Amino acid sequence: MSVLKDRIEWLDTAKGIGIIIVVYGHLEFNLAHYYFESFIMPFFIFASGFSSRVDLKESFFIYAKKNFKKLMFPYYFWGTLLYIFWVIFDSLQYDTLLNFVGLFFAYGGKEYMNWGVVLWFLPALYIAKLIHYIIIRTSAIILLGFLVAGFWLGKQELVLPYSIHSSLVLIVFYHLGYLLNYKKSNVRFKLFALILTSTLWLVIIQINGPVTVYMGEYGNNPISFISGAILGIFLLVIISQIVLRMPIIKLLGRNTLLIYILHLRAITFVKIVQLYILGIPIRNSIISSLLYTVISIFICLSTSILLKKYSSLFIDWKYAKYFV
């Protein structure tokens, strides 16, 4: 097995584990704020940076246009569908016009994106890619300026279009992933690294406190947030190497986009079937959250696989590939 192939496999595995954490975290909010959100979205930014390829001969405009198709096409396509569904079935307590503004400008926050708040990540990743292009075309030193601006915006509780406020902070993890791949770093770990990393991560996230990245809330201080996130990222990488040969996890990792976009509605669908069709009361527990996670991921994964296989029958694949 080549080093490159091995890296792709562990990255798919890590993304598969990561998407399970995302879905489960949206059912167990206390765990999410204190543990999962300390590293899970930084990890997906890191993974994107690790797998990124930048042609320095490309102009900024060409690079921006190419990545707009990859990230903002699915954002607006699926966002529009989710918004329409939300207006019809679930918008009674919210301002539909404000949420339409949220759809168009990609504002994070439930008051703007109650129809699909998780989609904040796609525009945030898009902006992070553009910022990274500027960094590698100029100097890595300006990364510090972006970080300071991002943490300052978070302190001021300013939520900007396209989640720019989050991108300015998350860019550090994108650049870290890019550097590790660019330098061809060996990212193999042993059991001792797992024990040490998990211990340090648990200590630091307790010091830092709860995190909500899309709202610009990074805990008690920037250093503990960045340190905790990096430790969490490498903890996930270590675990992915332990379970590297689990095909189902790698399959999830190759279908994270639609699982991420659709999982909240899948959870809602499962609960509706449980309550109104099966007549089973909804009870919140760790076991029920695990069951919702498994069933919802199965629904989203099946949808992703089917769309990848058959969407080209209805849309030219050169366009369909941007939505699945």
Residues 265, 272 contacting (CB under 8 angstroms): no
pLDDT greater at residue 314 or residue 80? 80
Interval 95-105 mean pLDDT: 89
pLDDT at residue 260 is higher than 90 = yes
> Which positions ≥6 away from 252 have C-beta within 8 Å?
15, 16, 19, 20, 259, 297, 301
**Please, which residues bridge with residue 217 across strands?**
212
Cα separation values, 57 from 31, 53, 315, Å? 44, 12, 31
Full-model pTM: 0.91
pLDDT at residue 159 is higher than 90 = no
pLDDT greater at residue 237 or residue 315? 237
pLDDT greater at residue 192 or residue 163? 163
Interval 169-194 mean pLDDT: 78
pLDDT at residue 21 is higher than 90 = yes
pLDDT at residue 109 is higher than 80 = no
Quote the pLDDT of residue 1: 32
| Alpha-carbon gap, residue 167 to 125, rounded angstroms | 7
How is the chain split into domains, by residue range?
Answer: 3-320
Question: Phi and psi at residue 157, in whole multiples of 5°?
Answer: 60, 40
Residues 20, 251 contacting (CB under 8 angstroms): no
Quote the pLDDT of residue 2: 35
pLDDT greater at residue 63 or residue 284? 63
Cα separation values, 191 from 36, 209, 294, Å? 22, 27, 28
Interval 205-213 mean pLDDT: 91
Cα separation values, 92 from 89, 95, 97, 108, 116, Å? 8, 8, 12, 20, 15
